[in-house]
Structures are given as C-alpha cells and as structure tokens.
Amino acid sequence: MQATRLRCLVCRDTLKLVFVADRPGYPDLGPDAILACTACSARYPVIGGTPRMLPSEHRERLRSAYPLAARVIGMENVGSSDLDGDLAVKQRTADSFAYEWQQFGELRDEWSKNFAAYMRPHSVRGLAGLSILDVGAGSGRHSFHAAQAGADVVAVDLGASIDVARRNLPATVLTVQADAERLPFEPAGFDIVMSIGVLHHLPDPQRALRSIARHARPGGHVHVYLYWLPEQRWQRALLDVVAAVRRATVRLPHPVLHALCFPLAAGLHAVFVAPGRVLRHRPRGRRLADALPLKTYADYPFAVLVNDQFDRFSAPLERRYTAEEVRRALCDADLEDVVVLPNHGWIADGRAATSPRAAGTPRA
C-alpha cells in the first residue's frame, strides 16, 4: 500500500501502519490495518485493501457499513466543513452511485475507446509515467485504463462504490475512500487530477473543483467532464421534463428504480438505438442516423443504456453547463490554458499555474 502518499485530515502530517490483521481483510471481516497519524491522535482504518480517510461527519455511515471495524473507526474530530444540507446530499449521492456500480460496475472492452475519448486532448499513450488522481472513481473503469497505460494511479470515491473499484483495479492502484473536498494528500502532488462525470452532481461544484485543483502540481493538469446544456429549445424542454420526473424517482428505493429503467431503456432502444444501428450502415441513412438522439448507444450493449437511465434518474442533483460556463469555472479555479471540447457533454482541461498569480492579475 502506498501509505506514504496519505496525509492526516486533522494536521496534514504523515501516517504510519500500526496494526496488520492475521488474515487478509475484506469488507465483511473488519479492518486489515490502521493508519495512525504520527503527530496527533487521529486514526483511519484500512478495510478491504482501501484506506477509509473520512472526516467525522461521514464516520457514522462508515461504522454502519463495516460494523466489525467500528471499534477502530472511532469518532474523532477529523475535520468538518460541510453544512448539514450538503452532507445529506453527498451521502444520498454516494449511496446512489454505490448501488449503480454494484449493479453495473463490470469492466467492458468498450470502455477502452470510451476512456480515450474522455481524456482528449491528452493521448492515452502520453499517460505513461504520470501520476494521476481520479476523484469520483466509481467502478474504477477510468483508473483501470490509466493504469494500463502505465500511469501511477490513485482512485478516490466517497461511497461504497470504492469497493467495486478495488475489485476491478490492479494492486498497483491505491484506492481511498475520501471526500473530494477533504482529500488526504499533499497539495500539488499529481501530474493529472481527473474527475469524470462527478462535479455536476455535487452541492457546490465550483468549491469541489477548487479543492481538487489544489492537488495538481505546477504545470500539471485538471481534467473534468461535465454535462452540457443543449442549445436546441426542444432538447431543453425534454430535460425540464426529465428534471421534473427525477424529483419523484430520487425518492424511490434503488431496486425499484432499477426495475423501472429496463422498460424505459427498451423503449428508447427500439425507437432510437436500433434504427440508428441499421441506418448508419446505409449510405443514404448515415445523415439521419447521426441526427438521432442517443446515437452513441449504438456502440454499446443494452445494459449500458439501462445503466445510464438509472444514473439519470437516481442522482439527487444534476447541473448542466454551456461551454463558456465550463471555461469560466476552470479559470475561476486558477487554471490556465483552458480547453473545452464536446463529447456528449463537455470535456474540459486546464493547466495549474507554474507560479502564484500576482494580486490583481486577471485570469486567462
């Protein structure tokens, strides 16, 4: 375990491994080890191969999820920065994605091409030898392909989906359960900090963006994916309908919503995806196929369409942005050379300044 990367949430000092179990640990067997701060009394359990670096406001949830580890989790004050409302939304969001990735988290061959598209303008080959922090790793699929490319990867998630990531990822990848706004690392420690499809679900995306951006080294990159706000009026009207429906679906038990997503996905597949698959192989039908909604799903199995409908209707919060809003968000996080690219949403990449910005100097 790369424990040397980790820092105490209270005093930012280094941690040491003070206890190792007699047998390998799994989430149902209690802690594998304890990471103890070398300067204060804070301690953090390692469960199922993953350090659980959570501030005190998340610790009760951790004790409930891993009762056999409760005696070493403790309830020390390890920092609290959330308002009660933010905390509730974060936990509901984490629970939603934990269920999602437990159901849909298997790795697929198609994710290799998908990862390359999400990483533009970086090339996958260019990731070799770089240190990458994946914030909101989910099932770990982006971390997996970054590690395959030769990067030194740390994968972080707030909820139990980190256990799915741990199962999917090689031992060389460090998985950490942590809050994006309370990351247990030294600032400026990574070549690339990426957060794919996460920030738009958080209570304060700009605050979270500034938090993760602190961990890119000078000259390093912050790389995010955000939902876009469509330009067409009919598309925005459709999203308004989806948002109205979501106000009800987020209150449904996850297994019930999961079941409802199958007929919804089947209808969308029959109306849009299946015709698109046929039309794109015919010279006269390619233009129409390109104009169809959901055309991207023609390249994926049906389960991916079901997965994305669950994602759409289960997350408590969802924000959408114009390209200019995305650019402004990265500039406001003190990032330079900002690039915004379309990919069924916005891929945005910015470079951390190589020197502090002088007072009064405008951002790029």
Task: Give the dihedral sign, CA 196/151/161/63.
Answer: negative
- Give 39-65 as a DSSP string: SSS-EEEEETTEEB---GGGHHHHHHH
Cβ atoms of 7 and 186 closer than 8 Å: yes
CA 194, 220, 212: angle at the middle one, nearest 5? 45
> What CA–CA distance (Å, rounded) separates 219 from 315?
34
Q: Quote the tokens at residue 331.
A: 């500039």
165-204: per-residue pLDDT in tens? 999 999 999 999 999 999 999 999 999 999 999 999 999 9
Q: Quote the tokens at residue 63.
A: 């004790």
Burial class (CB in 10 A: 0-12, 13-18, 19+), 353: middle
* pLDDT at site 219: 96
Q: Quote the tokens at residue 184.
A: 């247990």
> What CA–CA distance (Å, rounded) separates 316 from 250?
6
pLDDT band at 362 (very low <50, low <70, confident <90, very high): very low
- Summarize the confidence of residues 308-330 as an average pLDDT: 93
- Summarize the confidence of residues 141-147 as an average pLDDT: 97
240-251: per-residue pLDDT in tens? 898 899 999 999
Mean pLDDT across the chain? 86
pLDDT greater at residue 135 or residue 18: 135
pLDDT over 80 at 133, yes or no: yes
pLDDT over 90 at 306, yes or no: yes
* pLDDT at site 360: 39
How distant, in Å, are the alpha carbons of 64, 121, 292, 336, 345 from that of 341? 41, 8, 21, 15, 8
The secondary structure element, H or E, covering residue 155 is strand 152-157
* pLDDT at site 348: 97
Please state the pTM of the whole predicted model.
0.89
Q: Quote the tokens at residue 73.
A: 């989790």
| Buried-exposed string 278-288: b where 16+ CB fall within 10 A, e elsewhere | ebbeeeeeeee
pLDDT band at 34 (very low <50, low <70, confident <90, very high): confident
51-81: per-residue pLDDT in tens? 999 887 777 777 777 776 666 665 555 555 5
- Summarize the confidence of residues 262-291 as an average pLDDT: 85
Q: Which domains does the chain have, with CATH numbers?
A: 3-80 (no CATH), 100-229+319-352 (3.40.50.150), 251-314 (no CATH)
